[in-house]
Structure 1
Amino acid sequence: MHKIETEAGTAEDRDFVASLEKGLAVIEAFDADRPRLTLTDVAKLTGITRAAARRYLKTLTRLNYADFDGRYFSLSPRILRLGYAYLASSSLSARLQPFLEKISAQTGESSSAAILDGDDIVYIARSATQRIMSVSLGVGTRLPAYCTSLGRAILAYQPDDELEAYLKRVRLEPHTPKTITKKQDLRAALEAVRIEGCAIINEELELGLRSIAVPLFQANGTVRIALNIGTQAARTPAAEMKPRFLPPLLEATETLRGIL
């Protein structure tokens, strides 16, 4: 969770609503690992004062976007309206879904599409044939970009200045003993993605999980979306990931490149 930056750099921008920024930061303080937070927790995670955090939390509670049990705050189901507003206003997920379902039908494995949002990837479409992770994946799920195939497939094709800024600020936490935690190693892994044209993760996010992802190039050559296939390590040897799964992924991205 990133704390709110100081407003000195935005003082001249009269159209920037700092209170909205802080309110959204309060919402983003909650996640799968932190579903219930105290007032102090929220203030610490967002970098705002306790008094300000209290105002935002009380407002969210009064509008039924959050619940309060006397000590802990938690987001209410009403908060889903914010995410559904994005999905309803964009046909991107609907356009991707048939391709993911075709990939799953061809391979017998789960397939997903994600975008880069800050330092995380966010799932925007998914075709699940079976559960391959200990946590449930679905549209809206956020995962760290650095240790996911989807994230690396996107990061590898970002402009140099944006990639350097990311590498400077990201904290590489070990999710498993196999997770890359040195920035020079991550830099080398991203270079390998550009050479190979795909990103393969071998049990870095979760033991027993392997995945392969490819970038989806836009007409202007930029990359903001990636597609992947995830499988259980016990079912698919690492050496078979590329020959088995890369062709259907490339077939999908070639077609999508012409219609997105």
Structure 2
Amino acid sequence: MSTGDTERGSERDYVQSLERGFAVLLAFDEEMTTPTLAELAAKTGLSRPAVRRLLLTLQRLGYVENHGTRWSLTPRVLTIGQHYTATNARIELAQPHLLRLAERTGESASLAELDEFDAVYVARVPVRRIMNINVAVGSRVPAHATSMGRVLLAWAGPARITRFLEEAPLRAHTSRTITDPAELRMALSEVREQGWSIVDGELEEGLLSASAPVRDRTGAVVAALASSTSAGRLAPERLREETVPLLVETATAISTELGWSPRTPPVVRDGFF
């Protein structure tokens, strides 16, 4: 359990209106770019009067704007993500490493962090579009079906892994997706043992990716570095032989700049499996 989990406070410290405000903001997506008040109420499960008050508040703060019966986000929403990037030194530090990795492999390079049941892209150097979903900084992908997610989960600690296996929706995205908790636990054990992950066609048919862990000065895994390609461009064997060594080398370089040393004692989490 993270420090944040132990310092969440009691229920009386919980501001429900803030939660509802974020629920309304997050209801805007590529399928509902300019929703009506009624559509937002249906998606969030909130009453129309509540959604109206939240929208008017967000409008006053500059995060949404009104177009008759429809609403849209404003560019000010982007500043929320920019604040995270600006206060996270490893993202800026990793960017030149991602660029060099992309140049050496000819494939997209990404950095991701774990958030609940998803791996979230926090930095990316795209080379070519290989996924049907639109991937950019801030995009979320299911951790169980991606190499990034498995790297992040493999070193997440026993409590986090158990909660994930019990609560995460292990949806089958393709016929190859691992959806059995016991099988996924074994896959995470293998990732931890070998020090990297390859996932072939589990999120999307033909999508092939490899990931390696990025560590901070304490040795804790704080991010996953990934290189993605298509099965038509590179066979899994070649990815393992040619890309994985570059990936591990680059992840080690980023970790070293974050203060990690191969001599740093690993973070011990007893009872991993």
TM-score with structure 1 setting the length: 0.86
Q: Per-residue CA shift, 1:130-178, capped at 9, x if unaligned? A: 1111233221212221111111110111111111112111112222222
2:167 is aligned to: 169
1:155 is aligned to: 153
Q: Report deviation, 1:81.
A: 1.7
2:5 is aligned to: none
Q: Per-residue CA shift, 1:20-69, capped at 9, x if unaligned? A: 23222322233345545454554455454443333212322343322444
Q: Distance in 1 between matches of 2:168 and 2:121?
A: 20
CA RMSD of aligned residues (A): 2.2
Secondary structure of residue in 1 paired with 2:134: coil
Equivalences for residues 1-260 of structure 1 within 5 A? 10-13=10-13, 16-43=14-41, 45-260=43-258
Q: For structure 1, which segment, 147-156 or 19-28, has the greater mean C-alpha deviation from structure 2 after superposition?
A: 19-28
Secondary structure of residue in 2 paired with 1:98: helix
Secondary structure of residue in 2 paired with 1:104: helix
Q: Report deviation, 1:235.
A: 0.8
Q: For structure 1, which segment, 107-116 or 39-48, has the greater mean C-alpha deviation from structure 2 after superposition?
A: 39-48
1:4 is aligned to: none
1:6 is aligned to: none
Q: Structure 1 vs Structure 2: percent identity of aligned residues?
A: 40
Q: Distance in 2 between matches of 1:223 and 1:40?
A: 43
Q: Report deviation, 1:253.
A: 1.8
Q: Per-residue CA shift, 1:161-212, capped at 9, x if unaligned? A: 1111121111122222222222222222212211221111111111121000
Q: Distance in 2 between matches of 1:184 and 1:255?
A: 33
Q: Report deviation, 1:88.
A: 2.6
Q: For structure 1, which segment, 182-191 or 40-49, has the greater mean C-alpha deviation from structure 2 after superposition?
A: 40-49
Query: For the structure 1 residues 73 and 172, does the alpha-carbon distance in structure 2 shift closer, same or farther, using more than 3 Å as the test?
Result: farther
Q: Distance in 1 between matches of 2:39 and 2:143?
A: 25
Q: Report deviation, 1:225.
A: 0.3
Query: For the structure 1 residues 28 and 205, does the alpha-carbon distance in structure 2 shift closer, same or farther, using more than 3 Å as the test?
Result: same
Q: Distance in 1 between matches of 2:146 and 2:32?
A: 21
Q: Distance in 2 between matches of 1:187 and 1:71?
A: 48
Q: Report deviation, 1:238.
A: 1.7
Q: Distance in 2 between matches of 1:100 and 1:187?
A: 29
TM-score with structure 2 setting the length: 0.82
Structure 1 alignment gaps of length 5 or more: 1-8
Contact 2:196 2:248 in 1 (8 A): no
Q: Distance in 1 between matches of 2:211 and 2:80?
A: 28
Secondary structure of residue in 2 paired with 1:256: helix
Secondary structure of residue in 2 paired with 1:258: helix
Q: For structure 1, which segment, 246-255 or 179-188, has the greater mean C-alpha deviation from structure 2 after superposition?
A: 179-188
The alignment covers a number of residue pairs equal to 250
Q: Distance in 1 between matches of 2:33 and 2:126?
A: 25
